[in-house]
Structure 1
Amino acid sequence: MTSAFKLIVFSGLGWMFDAMDVLILSYLLVAASKDLGLDTQARAIVVLANNLGMLIGAILFGRLSDRVGRRPVFMTTLLIYSVATALSAFSRTWPDLAILRLIAGLGLGGELPVVAAYVSESSAPKERGRNVVLLESFWSLGAIAAAAVSLFLFTSIGWRASLLLLGLTAFYVFVIRRTLPESPAWATKAEARLTAELIRRAAVVSAVWFALAFGYYGAFLWLPTILATERGFTEVRTYQFMFYTTLAQLPGYFSAAYLVEKIGRRPTAAAYFLVSALAALLFANSVSSTELFLWALALNFFNLGVWGVIYAYTPELFPTAVRGAAMGIAGSAARVGMIIGPTLYPLIGINAMAVIASLWALAAALVYLLPETRHVQAGDL
């Protein structure tokens, strides 16, 4: 196993579990509803606890990774997640589940920015962007796995046994990650402070991350409901639709991994943001099942591709000594978008897609306020 392959796969497996956990939550709340007495308000509290944990974890562990190193932090975050997920299987009331989701969220929120910084720092400049986008592609594997777990494990062995199995499997990834070394860039880092220019970059990047997460969670978490209520899809057709369109995410990542090194971070991000915006508008205005399917494919392809680009681009904009903190700030902005975005559809219905498209178009312009980082040593701009 080559070092680059090992770096991406061992880091990506933890990323995959993060995606599974985030996306499986809605299925879990349905499956555990009767056992835990979950009404609408209780479900909202559990989701809020999860999201707050992720927000706090991004800030806390991002900054901590600058101080003590990337490796001990991403090992700790995965351990927190695996233990909390396994313990969730033994929840007796919905407040038990909410507390454990808050703890699991701490691990989830801390994992993503720290591992992205780690892979970026551990990669050669000519491969750095590609490697981080490939890391982010494990999110799609997690999304596919979440659908599979919900459709097969929840219905066959139940939600408690499923969560216990997920926690134990994540713990196995924690064990095999022990062979990964510390980031060489962090080990030799020089002291740095957030200067005025870096603060400006952090503000712009945070706005981009907010827009990206606001739109992603605002659109994708409501897609099943949109298909059922706006388009009259049955439950089976909805699950099939979501499964097949989700498959478009992987080639979206792979195309972005190629283009970030071929043409650069900014043009790739801008193009993928703009096509995502167009796909959202056309999806909302589709008049047939075929059109819905085609534009959902485009939405999955380009929007998940831009996630990969932004994860690759952000750590390159900051020096090693403050990179974890900067990634944490960006990650926390994404968590705010994650919390607010899903509130849009209940308020204005399918018109939410127009708001999302506008934010993504704005994000396409914002990336040009940042310097291009292709072929440049991270943090040297």
Structure 2
Amino acid sequence: METSDNTKRVGVGARLDRLPSSNLQRLFISQLGIGVWFDLFILFTGGPLALPIAKTLNVSKATATFYVAAFPFIGAFLGSIIYGILGDRYGRRITFLTSLLGFGVFSIISAFSTNIYELGILRFVSYLSVGGEIAIVDTYVSEFITRKGRGNWLSWMYTLAWTSSPVGALLVYLFAPVNYVLPGWRWVLLISGIGGIAAWLYRFRLYESPRWLESHGKIKEADETMDKIEERVMKMNKLTTLPPAEYVPYTTKEDKMPLSDLFKGEYKARTVMIWILQFLQGGMSFIIGTLAPLVLVAAGFTIIHSLLFTVVIDTGYVLGSLAASFVLDRYDRKAEIIVFALLLGLDGFAFSLIHIVGLILFFGTAYTFLDNFFNNSWHIYQAEIYPTRARTTGTGAAFSLSRIGTFIFLSTFVVLLDAYGAVPVFSINFMFGIIIAAVVFILGPKTTGKVLELISK
């Protein structure tokens, strides 16, 4: 590993951390957020879509939920690992462009599935394509945005992205009972695929991460990219100079870091912590979005009413992410994860006990609100705890466990819900929150406001 000589050159990290807020950051956040929008859209429409798909393809609700909402997460699990490794090896930009294109193409094809098995396979490939989206985007935000604004800017991006949840639920509600040439659920899949390709085109002007270029010895490209970024920021803000850069250590030729090295040295405790968190939150974060329609139907509400209630509940995702964008960098990231993991578990348990419409909507919306404080905290946290040479490998491997956790827990929860009702399911969910809080408290480092290169050396 070659270390910088700071007397000759100012590193990328120092140049990025001195940038003032500008429309360039807002543009980048919108370009990244629109891709994540469709990633979340396909994930959160799985549960609501399962009900009309079961009717059209003449299968049980449990079978439809498995093939439409649960089984595809195995593809997302593999995609997160594959694209995480590719992101560190070949760059951030090419990997998130490739993943989004694959998602768009296979989502369109899936709209014309003739049976539940064909649909399940195509959804699997769509999830595989988009599986690395979040890990790569979280990495890109952590590497591009200044150390004092990483959490807030990422929350703004996810606020944009999380509008996909209520929009998706609303589309399913509007299209599910109708048939315009095609059954309504097929139109929802078509819309997601076409939108994914449009988002892919919108992203083309994104730069490669200057930190990645620098860490791979591509100094000329890194400096040229930074020159362009600084020039655009100065022009947008009508500045003639930028603040002096503070010292930030950097490397110009980092050693490759294989997956096994995530369990060595200072990274061992971090990896154990984030893997446990991701595996368990894979059940916690999707439990309301996927199971709420089934819980409501089991409580005696019609399918249409349950879908309408889901639209209301899903607005909490947007509101929670919006609130987080104002406060995420004000408090310790580690403490935020602990507090919101516990609150999520408690609120979910309360949701399972209620049968009054007003309280169902209150606790359901409160859950999604709290969930996005929790999600936005760990999204930036998991990218901060690894070095540039292994950032997408580390985040991709960790996030893959959330995908496989979602597959395992949703498959299990659907069976438990059908056999025993909502209380046992959300009791397990509460236990997950307690375990996450304990593990992060014991093993998690503090990262808020720190220079990336100093968090992981």
TM normalised by structure 2 equals: 0.78
1:1-381 equivalences under 5 Å are 2-33=23-54, 36=57, 38-39=59-60, 41=63, 44-154=66-176, 155=178, 157=180, 158-189=184-215, 190-191=254-255, 193=257, 194=261, 195-230=264-299, 232-286=300-354, 288-342=356-410, 343-347=412-416, 348-349=420-421, 350-368=423-441, 369-381=443-455
Preserved CA contact (<8 Å) 1:265 1:309: yes
1:152-179 Cα shifts (integer Å, max 9, x gaps): 2453533334423321221111111001
Preserved CA contact (<8 Å) 1:85 1:167: yes
Aligned twin of 2:229:
none
Paired amino acid for 1:182: E
1:80-129 Cα shifts (integer Å, max 9, x gaps): 00010111123233333222212101122111111111111111111111
Whose helix proportion is higher, 1 or 2?
1
Distance 1:285 1:32, change over 3 A: closer
SS in structure 1 opposite 2:452?
coil
Q: CA deviation at 1:258?
A: 2.6
SS in structure 1 opposite 2:446?
coil
Distance 1:247 1:111, change over 3 A: same
Question: Which structure has the bigger radius of gyration?
Answer: 2
Q: Which runs of 5+ in 1 are unaligned?
A: none
Preserved CA contact (<8 Å) 1:20 1:142: yes
1: distance between equivalents of 2:130 and 2:120? 15
Preserved CA contact (<8 Å) 2:80 2:396: yes
SS in structure 2 opposite 1:221?
helix
1: distance between equivalents of 2:204 and 2:360? 44
Q: CA deviation at 1:297?
A: 2.3
1: distance between equivalents of 2:437 and 2:399? 18
2: distance between equivalents of 1:42 and 1:241? 20
Preserved CA contact (<8 Å) 1:315 1:327: yes
RMSD across aligned positions (CA): 2.2
1:232-284 Cα shifts (integer Å, max 9, x gaps): 33334423322222212222112223332111201222221122122122222
Paired amino acid for 2:311: F
Q: CA deviation at 1:140?
A: 2.2
1: distance between equivalents of 2:298 and 2:57? 27
Preserved CA contact (<8 Å) 2:269 2:444: no
Q: Which runs of 5+ in 2 are unaligned?
A: 1-21, 216-253
Sequence identity (%): 25
Preserved CA contact (<8 Å) 2:344 2:433: yes
Distance 1:166 1:236, change over 3 A: closer
Paired amino acid for 1:17: F
Q: CA deviation at 1:18?
A: 0.9
Distance 1:186 1:292, change over 3 A: same
Distance 1:145 1:204, change over 3 A: same
14-23 or 344-353, larger mean C-alpha shift? 344-353
Structure 1 stretches of at least 4 aligned residues deviating more than 6 Å after TM superposition: none
2: distance between equivalents of 1:380 and 1:357? 35
1: distance between equivalents of 2:64 and 2:318? 34
Q: CA deviation at 1:78?
A: 0.0
38-47 or 184-193, larger mean C-alpha shift? 38-47
Q: CA deviation at 1:77?
A: 0.3
1:119-158 Cα shifts (integer Å, max 9, x gaps): 1111111111112222223342111121122122453533
2: distance between equivalents of 1:287 and 1:218? 18
2: distance between equivalents of 1:43 and 1:49? 9
TM normalised by structure 1 equals: 0.92
Q: CA deviation at 1:331?
A: 1.0
18-27 or 33-42, larger mean C-alpha shift? 33-42
2: distance between equivalents of 1:338 and 1:354? 16
Preserved CA contact (<8 Å) 1:84 1:167: yes
2: distance between equivalents of 1:312 and 1:275? 20
Paired amino acid for 1:19: L
Distance 1:245 1:49, change over 3 A: closer
